[in-house]
Amino acid sequence: MKNIAILTGGDSAERVISLKSGQVVRENLPSDHYRTFLIDIQKADWRDVDSGTAIDKNDFSLRLADGEKIHFDAAFAALHGSPLEDGKMQGYLEMIGIPYTCCDGYVSALTMSKHNTKLQLAPYQVPMAPSELLQKGAAVDVEKLLQLGLPLFVKPNDHGSSFGVTKVKTQEALLPAIVEAFEYSNEVMVEAFMPGREFSNGVLRVNGEIVVLPVTEIIPETEFFDFAAKYEGKSKEVTPADLSDTLTQQCRQLTGKIYELLKCKGVVRIDYILVGDTFHLLEPNTIPGISPASIVPQQAQAYGWSLGHFFSLLIEESLT
């Protein structure tokens, strides 16, 4: 029986999503193989959700009321946003010697930045939309941004779950959208709009080999795949996607390529826009949502795995 710390909560606006993801992991991990503990991470306050007992950060252990001291065999990454998705926590876990089910600190920090991810992948002919990066407090060259064309997407550079994202259709709406995005990040990316269908594809390693899951098409009822579409049922998701064999293969091959190029670990969801017959990268998500409404669990089940088996694979891979 392995003791598993399910890391949840967090310090960002994505906290509410993390708490749901953590609960889903706990409900589905086989109880005959794993003893699970939900660990709520809030800045320096790390606590077991059930008992309210604080984690001893000297050795990442938990002392229960009956005196039993719990040492963890692995940490399951169910925390979206900071301090895990941006890589801050992985260094601590490595120093303590606790395996974890996600990308390492460097890769997590890299992919948390949409702009830096693009810079990393640009030499490898990965199709992407043109974009500009803005720094908080710096002057905004509206004319230069408008050269990307309208509509534009304005996004916090290092935030997820579509918080602060706006589809800008007019010049007048551009600056207010940038101001809103800066509420979530000190950097904002302004990206050209790509007309096309939206797809998402999960990928992970199993026994050291890359496994690319079925492709999902996302058909949002909203203007784009925003928070409501992701978490409030305002989208239709089709898994496997209605694509030709050629396009399905193109998408899955690109997913595997990006996973390898970025040196990812654990499960990663990679989002695309299909423009014509070419998939363009939107972004990789190194800790994708795993709530019942999320895409990767749909793909795992379409692949033939139960959620319990899927989550178990992630833990066992982290232990190798």
Q: Are 201 and 212 in contact (CB under 8 A)?
A: yes
- d(CA 277, CA 246) in angstroms, rounded, equals 10
Instruction: Give the 3-state secondary structure of residue 278.
Output: strand
What residue ranges in the chain does DSSP mark as E strands? 2-9, 34-42, 45-48, 61-63, 69-71, 74-77, 131-135, 152-156, 166-168, 187-192, 197-206, 209-220, 235-238, 268-275, 278-285
Q: How many Cβ atoms from other residues are within 10 Å of residue 83's Cβ?
A: 20
Name the DSSP class of 18. Answer: H
Q: Are 134 and 188 in contact (CB under 8 A)?
A: yes
Q: Are 77 and 7 in contact (CB under 8 A)?
A: yes
Phi first, then psi: give them for residue 191, nearest 5 degrees: -125, 140
The three-point CA angle 126-241-131 to 5° equals 30
- d(CA 216, CA 283) in angstroms, rounded, equals 15
Active site residues: 14, 161, 231, 269, 271, 283, 285, 289
Count of all residues that appear for the chain in the document = 320
